[in-house]
Amino acid sequence: MTKLATPAVVGVSAVLGAGLALGAGALGVGGGGTTTTVLRQAPIAANAAQTDGEAAPTAREIYERDAPGVVLVKAAVRQTSQSTSPFGLPQEQDGNSTGSGFVIDGDGTILTNEHVVEGATKVQVTFSNEKTVDAKVVGADQSNDVAVLKVDPKGLGLKPLQLGSAKDVQVGDPVLAIGNPYGLDRTLTTGVVSAKARRIQAPNGFPIENVLQTDASINPGNSGGPLLDGAGRVIGINSQIATGGSGSTGSVGIGFAMPIDTIKRILLDLKKTGRANIAYLGVSTTDAPEEGALPAELNAPTGKGAWVQTVAPGSPAAKAGIRGGRVTVNTTQGPVQIGGDLITKIADRAIEDADDLTAVVAERKPGDRIEVELRRNGEPETVTVTLTRRSDDANAAGSTGDGQGGGSADPFTTP
C-alpha cells in the first residue's frame, strides 16, 4: 500500500562493522603468565577506495567528526482541518513537521528533503550545541525531493560535511546515517548498501532514479539526513522507507537515499534561481522485451534500447516526431503499448535500457540539441530533439518522466 507520510527522517540501522573486535595477547608477568583481552572498535570502511588508501575510521570517529554538522529541522506549516468554521469554511491551524538536514559549507548552506519544509511558513534549525536559528528556504525541487536552506553563519562554528559520490558504491559496502528519528537528536545508525539503481517516486509524481537502498533503520525524523560511506562522506540524502503496512510507519530494514551525485548537478541552480533546471524529453519508456517474450504477430522490438510507451503532447519528443505505442496489450509482465519507437542512441551514447535513457537525459541541460537514433518498425531513424525544462508537476508534464514505465505509485513512505 502506498502512503505519503508526514515529513520524517531516514536513518540507517543494522548491525555492521561498528561493533567491537576482540584481540588477545599473552603478557608474561614474573614467572607466570596471564592473558589480557583487548577491546578495540573495528574500522567501518569496507575497502581502500572509500578511504583513499588511508586508515579506515571507526564509526565513533565518523560520528564525532560529522554529527556536529547534522541539524534538526523544524518547519511550521498551516494545515487545513476536516472540520469547518461556523461560516462553512475549512478550519486552518498551525502544525509542525520535523526532519533532519546537514551543513555543506561555511556560508550556512544546509541540505534537507523538500517534503520536510513543504508549505512551511517558518523554518528553524537546531545545532548540536542546542542553538536554534531561523533558516530561509532558498531553493527546492520536488522532482528530487531536495531543499536548500540558508542560515546566518555568524557565531555558529559550522562543521560542514564532505560530499562524496555514490557512483562507485557497491552492494555490501558499509554506510552510516545520522539524524533525528522521533526527535532523538543526532542518532547514529549503521548498515550496508542493500541494492543500487532503485527507483522511488518523488512527492510530485516524477520518478527518482539510481536511488541507494540500505538495510539501515530509517524512521520518522530522519528525512533529509545524510547517508555516509565508510569514510564519512555524504553519498545520499535519506528520503523514504518501506513500511510493514497496516498503518505502520516504522522501518522494516528497507530504506532509500537520494544519490548525492544527483543533488550536485542541480545544487548551483537551486542556490542561484531557487529551482532546478532539469532537462525534459517527454517520454515514458520500458525495456525492450527479450526475444520470444511477446507473440511474434505483435511485431514488438527486441534487443537493447528504451521502448517508447507514451509521448507527452507538445513535448520535445512529440515535436521531433518520436512515436509512442498505439495499442495496449496485456502480457504476463503487465500491459504494454505496442507500436512505439525503440531508442538505441542519444548524442552518440548507446542506450541499452530505459534507465540508460533517464541517466543520459539527466546529464543534459534545457536547450541542448541532441541526435536521437531509434528503430521504427525495424528500420533505423534519426531525429533531432531540443530539450526543454521539465515542469515541476508530473501531470502538467504529461509524463511520469523520461525513463522506464510509470504511473503507478511506489509502496514507500517519506519518514
Query: Residues of 149-187 as b/e, b for ≥16 C-beta within 10 angstroms?
Result: bbbeeeebebbbbebbebeebeeebbbbbbbbbeeebbb
Catalytic residue among 97, 223, 251, 315: 223
Query: Grid cell 533525528 — which residue?
Result: 180
Asked if 73 and 85 count as a contact pair (C-beta separation under 8 A), the reply is no
Strand partners, 23: 38
Burial category of 196 from C-beta neighbours within 10 Å (exposed 0-12, middle 13-18, buried 19 and up): middle
Q: What distance in Å separates the CA atoms of residue 332 and residue 33, rounded to the nearest whole number?
A: 71
3-state secondary structure of 66: helix
**CA Rg value for the chain:** 24
Beta-strand relationship, 174-179 and 120-126: unpaired
Strand partners, 110: 103, 149
Q: Is 223 annotated as catalytic?
A: yes
Q: What distance in Å separates the CA atoms of residue 58 and residue 290, rounded to the nearest whole number?
A: 46
Catalytic residue among 13, 66, 97, 115: 115
Asked if 407 and 394 count as a contact pair (C-beta separation under 8 A), the reply is no
Catalytic residue among 145, 341, 355, 356: 145
How many CB atoms lie under 10 A from the CB of residue 34?
A: 9
Catalytic annotation, residues: 115, 145, 223
